[in-house]
Structure 1
Amino acid sequence: MSEKVLVGGVGMIPFSKPGASPSYTDMGAEATRRALADAAIDYGMVQQAYVGYVYGDSTCGQTALYEVGLTGIPIVNVNNNCSTGSSALYLARQAVALGDADCVLALGFEQMQAGALKSHWGDRPVTRARFQPIMRELTADVSDLPQALRTFGGAGREHMLKYGTRMETFAAIRTKASRHAANNPLALFRNVLTTEDVMNDKVMWPGVMTRLMACPPTCGAAAALIVSEKFAKKHGLRTDVQIVAQSMTTDPVESFDPPSLISYAGFHMAKAAAQKVYEKAGVDPRDVRVCELHDCFAHNELLSYEALGLCGIGEGEKFVMDGDNTYGGRVVTNPSGGLLSKGHPLDATGLAQCYELTHQLRGTAGQRQVEGVKLALQHNLGLGGACVVTLYAKN
């Protein structure tokens, strides 16, 4: 039988620019301490830990958690590109749901370097090497641009050509992110932007993208304590936030055949994961009123609206222009400011999303609070690939 799985505590540190952050050990330890303090329990009560990071040596998870305590618990290091934080959460939830443990820590941290993402290995195949010719062929006209920008910018361009979506719509998404982040003290960028600010920023891809439409490299950490209901009740933890459904998907054939950058950028992974979550929970996407989704680029936020069923295929621009992605609309997307304004320390991201949605369901999100939240959806994408979609509910 599956145990009811609760979020017993969450912790997050302010995100910062590369070169301005503490070390990953300090960040990971501090996020963990904050989650423990939120749950009001001691580290000695944690039975397992799943720790995510991309840019680090083996057993960095142990190195960070040894600063919190030496208790001999299993510590598993996780790496699933930008979905690593949610992959750690996925494993923690599984352990509790299957009854293997009653209190499990999921931690994600990243100490990033400035500039575009890059591989640190030059003597072996890169991830997705078999399929990268698809991306290169479909973006051959911008071969000098970084790979991530070509992938997500190319997906946005495909949507523009197919549905008539305007570049100004992606600027409006970035502007919305800035308004939301202005109320988040943990966000990296809290200055409110106008659509004109975004459109007039440095052009990265003429007619497709300016610099402000891409998330910045960021350092940070976030953590969550995932517990069984019986553990929470026995030790006096909060029982008000439950993980009711969760799914992880990897690339299906449709990601690569027929060639499409919308597909290549993870659309089918997200759609399949969302459908599984809705079916398992017995809910409709129209029941969701708040969502933290993977807006690594403004273009991917719009694509994710459609993949997650928040609007119909090809209706992303209307969804934005009608204000259905913000307060007063149908579903408030990224009340935290999202990756675009809050920042994207790759493996803290999934757990930072968990942090935000936990506070939304508790009713403790302050000026970011969405009224009447009963369900909260999380979408975290990593190319290579993995997508994790999680549905939380007020217990």
Structure 2
Amino acid sequence: MKSYIAGVGMTKFEKPESRDWQYWDMAKEAGSAALADAGIPYERVQQVAVGHCFQASTAGQRAAYELGLTGVPVYNVNNNCATGSTALMMARQFVAGGLSDCVLALGFEKMKRGALGGGADGGDFSTSPVARHYGIMAARHGFEMTPPTAQIFGNAAREHMERHGTTARQLAAVAAKNHRHSAGNPNAQFQDVYEVDEILAAKPIHEPLTRLQCSPTSDGAAAVLVVSERFAVEHGLHHKAVEIAGQAMATDTADSFTSGSCIDVVGRPMSRAAARDAYEASGLGIEDIDVIELHDCFSVNELLTYEALGMCRDGGSGELVESGATTHGGRWVVNPSGGLISKGHPLGATGLAQAAELTWQLRGEAGDRQVPGARTALAHNIGLGGAAVVTVLRT
């Protein structure tokens, strides 16, 4: 059965501790906005999938109860940085499988300031869910006293530079583009514009990555209401509903680890697999896509994702971003929201915020950042450890 996005909503993404609110407050704001966008009361929602990473186990119920006490099933979802898109995928599966006609996917995060710990308990990576990933990195690059997630992606960047001649300026061009895009997004955590030289001159985090090439920790929430075709027609939603034309998740395979490369460890193989399956499910290819929101947790991951999605050959992503092919006036517009680097990255909300942005783009409601004539879109959300979700949308 076909499934559609009927309503979307999100809070502004903000620096942690900058606003006096609790996670249930932000979840209520985003969830209420999605329901109002669709014109559907919470009483019509039959199931709720709630994504979060840093709150307690039934925080999803605590958040959903702010929308209503209807007794419907609430599922708590945690898939690292791919949590939001995993909640969306659960909602779509409930609808596409004929189990429900109206499902809410809700994601939020209330984070702490500073860099992410990388999944280690008290700094002991031997018991971490990502111990295998960091072990591969350490065997090739050692382990330094820099933030671990920046370290593993920074080492992927070093390998890409050594293997393909990718330059520091090309990496910085990704960040410059996304910071420029965020200037038109009132929901973005940052709206400052930086030139490539300013990004290169920013505080080093892990060579070659500087602070302005790394996504921040953030507070925020986002929500998506997914409905069946029947429900959309019965409630007069078909004129604004966006079809989820294809969606797929992939997790790590042997290819992630056998090469000993950080490029593979951070997820390019599973991103490639998820994209392949989403294209097959939708009947569309990358050549058919107009606008993309992808997981630029660090500038290098945007380049790796260009390659995984088939936008260029392996090693050609640096040239692609420098050519202007991934900004307004180019072949695709990638991260018109500002992406994770500038919009922010509250883990549980990120994938759902991508879906919200693309829904606004396909409806022509994106304001100053609107991609003219956008009819097809792709979202890519990845979590180390790992999960990659690719979603293809169309009007």
| TM-score > 0.5, shorter chain as reference | yes
In the alignment, residue 27 of structure 1 is paired with which amino acid?
M
1:13 equivalent to 2:14? Answer no
Q: Is there any run of 5+ residues in structure 1 with no aligned partner, and where?
A: none
**Does residue 45 of structure 2 align to residue 46 of structure 1?**
yes
Instruction: Name the SS for the 1:335 alignment partner.
Output: coil
User: Displacement, 1:279?
Assistant: 1.7
Matches of 2:48 and 2:120 in 1, distance apart? 26
Bigger mean CA offset, 366-375 vs 376-385: 366-375
Give the root-mean-square deviation of aligned CA atoms.
Answer: 1.3
| CA distance in 2: counterparts of 1:267 and 1:377, whole angstroms | 16
Query: What SS does the corresponding residue of 1:222 show, helix, strand or coil?
Result: strand
C-alpha separation between the residues in 1 aligned to 2:368 and 2:105? 27
- Deviation string 1:224-276 (CA, Å, 9 cap, x unpaired) is 00000110111122443100100000001000002110000100000000011
2:302 alignment partner in structure 1? 301
Deviations 1:115-142 (CA, angstroms, capped at 9, x unpaired): 11124744882112234311112221x5
Matches within 5 A, 1:22-171: 22-118=21-117, 119=119, 121-122=121-122, 125-140=127-142, 143-171=144-172
Distance 2:226 2:26 in 1: 20
CA distance in 2, matches of 1:258, 1:43: 48
Helix, strand or coil at the partner of 1:248 = strand
Q: Is the 8 A contact 1:244 1:281 kept in 2?
A: yes
Aligned to 1:189: 190
1:75-132 Cα shifts (integer Å, max 9, x gaps): 0000000000000000000000010000000001000001111247448821122343
Q: Identify the residue that residue 178 of structure 1 maps to in structure 2.
A: 179
Q: Distance in 1 between matches of 2:67 and 2:135?
A: 45
CA contact (8 A) 2:134 2:152 kept: no
Separation in structure 1 between the aligned mates of residue 151 and residue 80 of structure 2, nearest angstrom: 17
Q: Which moved more, 1:18-27 or 1:344-353?
A: 18-27
Deviates further, 14-23 or 119-128: 119-128
SS of equivalent residue, structure 1 residue 348: helix
For residue 210 of structure 1, report the CA deviation from its aligned partner: 1.0
Within the alignment, does 1:264 sit opposite 2:265 as a pair? yes
SS across alignment from 1:113: coil
Corresponding residue of 2:343: 342
> What stretches of structure 2 of length at least 5 have no aligned partner?
none
Structure 1 length normalisation: TM-score? 0.96
**Partners of 1:220 and 1:348 within 8 A in 2:** yes
Hey, what's the Cα distance between the residues in 2 that align with 1:245 and 1:37? 26
One-letter code aligned to 1:189? F
d(CA) in 1 for partners of 2:132, 2:175: 33
Q: Which moved more, 1:280-289 or 1:35-44?
A: 280-289
Percent same amino acid among aligned pairs? Answer: 51
Partner amino acid for 1:23? Q
2:226 equivalent to 1:226: yes
Q: Distance in 1 between matches of 2:60 and 2:258?
A: 37
Q: Decide which moves more: 221-230 or 309-318.
A: 309-318
Alpha-carbon distance between aligned partners in 2 of 1:238 and 1:351, rounded to the nearest angstrom: 21
CA shift for structure 1 position 211: 1.0
Change (3 A) 1:71 1:361: same
CA distance in 1, matches of 2:243, 2:183: 28
Question: How many angstroms apart in 2 are the aligned matches of 1:171 and 1:132?
Answer: 25
Distance 1:132 1:200 in 2: 28
Contact 2:242–2:394 (CA under 8 A) maintained in structure 1: yes
Q: Which residue is equivalent to 1:384?
A: 385
Question: CA 1:302–1:120 in 2, change beyond 3 Å: closer, same or farther?
Answer: closer
On the 8 A contact 2:170/2:319 being kept in 1, the answer is no
- Structure 1 residue runs of 4 or more that deviate by more than 3 Å after TM superposition: 119-124
Question: Which amino acid counterpart does residue 217 of structure 1 have in structure 2?
Answer: T
Hey, what does 2:202 align to over in structure 1? 201
